Amino acid sequence: MDDGEKRISLKIDLKAGTIELDAPESSFDQAIARTRELTQELEIGRQINAHDSAKTETTATTDQSSRDAPPRQERPRTKSARLSTSAGRAGRIGSFDPIRDLLNEEQQQQIRAFVLQKSPKDQGDAVLCAMYEGERILSRQGFSYNEIYTLMWRAGTDPLPKALDVMIQKLSQEQYIERGTNGYFLKFLGRSRVEKELPVREEAP
């Protein structure tokens, strides 16, 4: 190589760094081509590093957010609806819908006065008293669960039976009540108990 050969110097600033080119004039084109390749390699490397850095930062942020977030609370399991259906079935207080026009005002006063006189000590006798007077003032036999509940409600029974169907079944087993085509009605033993075994409450002197 001739020491007197003309040389070309070139400096290129890139985002990835700086390239300085110093080559003889005869080899300048080859040096430029190599510089382009090197530039592309540096740029690609810079993009990869930037992507990895951003990914690392995102992962770190996500991990930090996970640590800072409040602990996840599991929703309490709801009980099956089947567990509460008994409260709303016929004969249970949950299904009671008062029949407000079953008795007129005078009849309401009569059934309340009658049950007050008989003063039943338990809910079974309260059912018998309400049905007894209901049959008398309405001149009919046979009441549904809802009608019996209404008679007891108008008679001032408090509290009302939570499970009237169970109470009716017990009274049926004792031969006080029977079920007919129009509902439940008092049998002879039921009427006899109300008339003879439940005394009229004595008035205070």
Q: Tens-of-pLDDT digits for all 205 residues of the chain?
A: 455 666 666 666 666 566 676 666 666 666 666 666 666 666 655 665 555 555 555 554 555 555 555 555 555 554 444 434 455 688 899 989 999 999 999 999 999 999 999 999 999 999 999 999 999 999 999 999 999 999 999 999 999 999 999 999 999 999 999 999 999 999 999 999 999 999 775 554 4
Tell me the sheet residues that pair with 21. Answer: 10
What pLDDT does 83 receive?
Answer: 38
0.85 exceeded by pTM: no
DSSP H or E run through 29 = helix 28-68
Place of tokens 């003032």: 137
Cα angle 171-172-174, degrees, rounded to a multiple of 5: 65
Report the distance separating Cα 41 and Cα 2, nearest Å. 32
Residues 135/138/139/143 CA torsion (nearest 10 deg)? -50
Class of domain 93-197: mainly alpha
Domain ranges of the chain: 7-64, 93-197
